[in-house]
């Protein structure tokens, strides 16, 4: 009840929030120096922009987030998981302090607390992490170049490979050194990092020395014909990687490109990745191609957006042939195919038509249908975190099943976001041959408040 009262207080306080705050998914990308010339004297302005020098070039900024989620599953994990009749609740708190000393020095610190209540099994660290330092870095900047050192979130492109993992309860971070260069329509990042392993207790998150991640990512916008393009090279070294083909040391290189644009009518996002390297004594050769194309009917009252997504993601073609063809999605967003997060992007072929309807300015309804097949009959089915769910051996069927999702999203202002989702997964031949094979029904409710 205390938590519920707290969220009510926050909701009531929105009346006082006069600023149209441009909140971003990466909170460190927010810049409140525009308030330098604001002559108002509200408590909220002082929270977002608190100068500590006469010229106002040195200042503090404070912010945070409270998120509540309720989930209820029928036949979770296709009937393999214990049933929880009354569902479970996930809660996430984020709070940050951002300090700028002129244009050359900046430090950003963010704490995260993620709580899980009512799960049938002990919650994983992705669901429950009582309190920890999620980010703590310094920026040293000069003109177009910035050096960022410390614990930080990494997010690139459409977040297919490198994501903040927004949908799960506990966002992910890296201990990294990153050079960032930006000029005109070009941006270039070069980084080296260690993955930060989430642990369930207080201030116990640690560097995972067994998982190193480095690479380069560049973005070019306003290019003739192509509009926007990303080019990247990413490397992951994992001391212990697990696939259907076995367990061992993985050294994987990913080379990819993404072409994307969003106009008034058309939106498209096309991406291709090839992976090579070594896994144990095997040679890695894996790939993926994805497309997300949509068209908005502006002439209609609801302005429907009609689109289709599709992905082809390689799986291991044959066991013990000296090659590993299973694609590694690296550090993807947790809800890759909806909040139910049932399937991960490895050894997969999917077709995903959808439609979005703007019921009002702040209310959006989405209906989508996702059909799944295994790319290779000799490889298994993987979860979003890369864990093998079912081996490829029980069935020679490629057909995994299809998923129907309905989502209603309401954003009355910049601070408040509500989402209701209903997902039904119809188990296909492979699922039924590999386990209990029951259909899944998931309902999920989310309320998020940012300040």
At 138, list the tokens.
Answer: 């310094």
For tokens 């002990």, name the residue. Answer: 122
- The Cα–Cα gap between 133 and 123 comes to 20
Dig out the tokens for 284 from the structure.
């890695």
**Which residues are CB-neighbours of 351 under 8 A, at least 6 positions away?**
308, 309, 310, 370, 371
Smallest CA-to-CA distance from 266 within 223, 220, 307 is with 307
Q: What is the pLDDT of residue 320?
A: 85
Q: What is the CATH number of domain 2-450?
A: 2.40.160.100
Q: Which residues contact 383 (CB under 8 A, 6 or more apart)?
A: 341, 343, 344, 389
* Closest to 180 (Cα-Cα) out of 190, 166, 172: 190
Task: Evaluate whether 405 touches 301 at the Cβ level (below 8 Å).
Answer: no
Going by the DSSP 8-state scheme, the letter that residue 438 receives in this structure is: -
Q: Which of 72, 71, 77, 70 is nearest to 439 (CA)?
A: 77
Question: CA 277 to CA 235: how far, in whole Å?
Answer: 9
Are the beta carbons of 389 and 381 closer than 8 angstroms? yes
Residue 352: name the closest of 291, 303, 400, 409 by CA: 291
132 vs 134: CA distance, rounded Å: 6
Q: What is the pLDDT of residue 118?
A: 86
Q: Give domain limits for the chain.
A: 2-450
pLDDT for position 16: 44
- Per-10-residue mean pLDDT, the chain, length 451: 46 48 90 89 92 94 97 94 87 98 96 91 89 98 96 96 94 98 96 95 91 98 92 97 93 98 94 97 96 91 94 93 96 83 94 96 96 96 92 88 97 96 96 95 96 95
E strand spans, 155-198: 174-183, 186-197
Alpha-carbon span 177 to 303, nearest angstrom = 44
CA distance 126 to 232: 28
The model's pTM: 0.92
φ and ψ of 34, to 5 deg: -65, -15
CA–CA dist 331, 165 (Å, integer): 8
Which residues are CB-neighbours of 209 under 8 A, at least 6 positions away?
194, 239
Asked if 335 and 341 count as a contact pair (C-beta separation under 8 A), the reply is yes
Give all strands (DSSP E) within 263-390, no chain letters: 266-279, 282-296, 305-313, 323-324, 348-360, 363-373, 381-382, 388-390
For the CA atoms of 157, 162, 168, 173, the dihedral, rounded to the nearest 10 degrees, stands at: -120
Phi, psi of 431, rounded to the nearest 5 degrees: -60, -45
- Give the span between the Cα atoms of 384 and 389, in whole angstroms: 10
Rounded to the nearest angstrom, the gap between the alpha carbon of residue 273 and the centroid of all alpha carbons in its chain is 18
pLDDT for the residue 19: 52
Longest CA–CA span in the chain (Å) reads: 72
Tokens in use for 51? 């100068």
Residues 282, 245, 155, 105, CA torsion sign: negative
Torsion angle, alpha carbons of 334, 337, 342, 346, to 10: -80
Residue 323 bridge partners (DSSP):
283
Burial profile 330-352: b = 16 or more Cβ within 10 angstroms, e = fewer:
bbbbbbbbbbbbbbbbbbbbbeb
> CB atoms < 10 A from the CB of 86, how many?
8
């Amino acid at each position: 009840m205390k938590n519920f009262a707290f969220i009510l207080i926050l909701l009531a306080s929105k009346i006082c929030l006069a600023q149209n705050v441009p909140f971003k998914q990466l909170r460190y990308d927010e810049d409140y120096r525009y308030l330098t010339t604001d002559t108002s004297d509200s408590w909220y302005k002082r929270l977002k922009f608190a100068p500590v020098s006469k010229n106002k070039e040195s200042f503090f900024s404070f912010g945070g987030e409270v998120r509540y989620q309720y989930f209820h599953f029928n036949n979770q994990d296709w009937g393999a998981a214990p049933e929880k009749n009354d569902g479970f609740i996930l809660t996430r708190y984020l709070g940050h302090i951002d300090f700028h000393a002129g244009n050359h020095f900046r430090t950003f610190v963010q704490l995260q607390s993620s709580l899980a209540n009512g799960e049938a099994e002990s919650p994983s660290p992705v669901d429950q992490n009582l309190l920890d330092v999620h980010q703590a870095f310094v920026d040293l900047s000069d003109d177009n170049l910035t050096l960022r050192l410390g614990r930080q979130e990494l997010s690139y492109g459409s977040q297919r490979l490198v994501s903040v993992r927004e949908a799960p309860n506990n966002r992910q971070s890296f201990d990294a050194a990153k050079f960032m260069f930006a000029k005109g329509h070009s941006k270039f990042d070069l980084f080296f990092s260690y993955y930060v392993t989430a642990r369930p207790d207080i201030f116990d998150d640690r560097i995972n020395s067994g998982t190193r991640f480095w690479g380069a990512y560049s973005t070019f916008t306003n290019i003739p014909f192509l509009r926007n393009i990303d080019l990247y090279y990413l490397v992951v070294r994992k001391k212990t990687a697990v696939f259907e083909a076995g367990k061992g040391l993985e050294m994987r290189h990913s080379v990819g490109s993404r072409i994307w644009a969003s106009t008034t009518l058309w939106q498209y996002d096309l991406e291709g990745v090839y992976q090579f390297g070594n896994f144990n004594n095997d040679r890695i050769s894996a790939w993926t191609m994805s497309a997300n194309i949509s068209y908005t009917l502006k002439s209609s009252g609801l302005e429907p957006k009609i689109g289709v997504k599709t992905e082809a993601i390689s799986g291991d073609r044959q066991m013990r042939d000296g090659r590993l063809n299973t694609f590694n999605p690296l550090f993807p967003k947790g809800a890759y195919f909806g909040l139910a997060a049932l399937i991960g992007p490895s050894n997969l072929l999917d077709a995903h038509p959808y439609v979005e309807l703007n019921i009002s300015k702040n209310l959006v309804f989405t209906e989508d249908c996702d059909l799944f097949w295994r790319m290779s009959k000799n490889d298994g089915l993987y979860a979003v975190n890369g864990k093998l769910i079912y081996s490829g051996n029980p069935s020679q069927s490629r057909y995994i099943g299809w998923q129907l999702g309905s989502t209603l999203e309401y954003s009355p202002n910049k601070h408040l976001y509500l989402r209701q989702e209903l997902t039904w997964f119809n188990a296909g031949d492979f699922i039924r041959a590999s386990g209990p094979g029951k259909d899944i029904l998931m309902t999920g409710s989310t309320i998020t408040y940012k300040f």
